């Protein structure tokens, strides 16, 4: 990222190479040591305060989000954004690929704040134009971001501004189109599971039940592609190995990533209509 902070990080990396003839220094620098003083000697006076302010924060983020650092950037970086409320944005980071990410991969993303993700991105040697922002409707959020919202260039532009990413609108439209198709596919896919011959759909709600029994009523043992509908009992289109319990009002609750999510049964007629539309 072409930012002042990134320039500082790169400068410090260069100094580290000079100071450590054995190779790249991957350990945090203690600014209260002689090594820290040597680092600061190579940083312009006008930038020292910014480096001192941000470097400790980046080290904290390395410990909090280790999976977001040291990612390959050959095909760019993909920033996944979802909303928990109108002004509550969360971010996850993956290295760029030519494939659509699975629901299991997306569910494993930790939600960083805009400020945290901006600092994380500043640690990468990458141009802003190679950082792709992809909106995602996280099932754990009850705040719905509509398809029309994410297709509006202003939505992506505003998110990029939160992260300090530069890109004019013409570049944005050209760059975002392939990734928008990927985002559209995510919105078209509805997580669902078949249990006892019935299809249960994700509601986007997290269970509020407390004092739960520790025994599972069943487990999802097989999976199909995210764009397909499960055809066998204990099969989902978002992964396998998840335990579930029967809930009230024709629901089941599935345990994923240390949380319980509510899935509800829908009438077979609506499912048949969906199949008909997909065939057409």
162 versus 169: which is more confidently predicted? Answer: 162
Confidence of residue 32 (pLDDT cuts 50, 70, 90): low
Contacts of range 208-215, beta carbons closer than 8 Å, 24 or more positions apart: 209/247, 209/253, 209/260, 212/245, 212/260, 213/245
Confidence of residue 182 (pLDDT cuts 50, 70, 90): low
Report the pLDDT averaged over residues 42-50: 44
% of the chain residues with pLDDT over 70: 67
Report the pLDDT averaged over residues 174-194: 60
Query: pLDDT tens across 106-152, in order?
Result: 999 999 999 999 999 988 888 888 899 999 888 888 888 887 788 78
Evaluate if residue 18 carries a pLDDT over 60: no
* Collapsed DSSP state (helix, strand, coil) of residue 52: helix
Residue closest to 137 by CA, chosen among 178, 99, 90: 90
211 versus 11: which is more confidently predicted? Answer: 211
- What pLDDT is recorded for position 169? 52
Model confidence, pTM: 0.50
Evaluate if residue 246 carries a pLDDT over 90: yes
195 versus 101: which is more confidently predicted? Answer: 195
**30 vs 3: CA distance, rounded Å:** 23
- What pLDDT is recorded for position 1? 56
- What pLDDT is recorded for position 92? 96
Evaluate if residue 234 carries a pLDDT over 90: yes
- What pLDDT is recorded for position 67? 95
Alpha-carbon dihedral angle through residues 114, 119, 120, 125, given to the nearest 10 degrees:
130
- What pLDDT is recorded for position 63? 92
- What pLDDT is recorded for position 38? 53
Evaluate if residue 210 carries a pLDDT over 50: yes
What is the three-state SS of 210-258?
CCCCCCCCEECCEECCCCCCCCCCCEECCCCCCEEEECCCCEEEEEECC
- What pLDDT is recorded for position 33? 60
């Amino acid at each position: 990222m072409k930012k002042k902070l990134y320039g500082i990080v790169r400068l410090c990396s260069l100094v580290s190479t000079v100071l450590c003839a054995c190779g790249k220094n991957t350990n945090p620098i203690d600014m209260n040591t002689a090594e820290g003083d040597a680092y600061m000697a190579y940083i312009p006076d006008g930038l020292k305060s910014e480096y001192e302010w941000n470097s400790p924060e980046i080290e904290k983020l390395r410990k909090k989000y280790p999976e977001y650092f040291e990612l390959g950037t050959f095909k760019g970086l993909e920033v996944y954004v979802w909303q928990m409320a109108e002004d509550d944005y969360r971010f996850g980071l993956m290295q760029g690929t030519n494939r659509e990410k699975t629901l299991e991969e997306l569910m494993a993303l930790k939600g960083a704040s805009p400020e945290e993700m901006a600092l994380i991105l500043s640690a990468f040697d990458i141009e802003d134009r190679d950082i792709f922002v992809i909106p995602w409707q996280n099932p754990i959020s009850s705040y719905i971001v509509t398809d029309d919202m994410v297709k509006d260039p202003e939505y992506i532009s505003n998110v990029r501004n939160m992260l300090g990413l530069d890109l004019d609108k013409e570049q944005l439209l050209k760059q975002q189109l392939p990734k928008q198709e990927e985002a559209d596919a995510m919105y078209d896919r509805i997580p669902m599971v078949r249990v006892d011959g019935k299809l249960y759909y994700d509601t986007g709600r997290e269970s509020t039940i407390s004092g739960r029994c520790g025994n599972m009523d069943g487990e999802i043992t097989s999976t199909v592609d995210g764009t397909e509908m499960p055809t066998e009992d204990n099969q989902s289109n978002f992964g396998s190995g998840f335990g579930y319990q029967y809930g009230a009002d024709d629901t089941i609750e599935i345990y994923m990533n240390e949380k319980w999510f509510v899935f509800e049964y829908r009438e077979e007629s609506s499912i048949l209509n969906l199949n008909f539309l997909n065939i057409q």
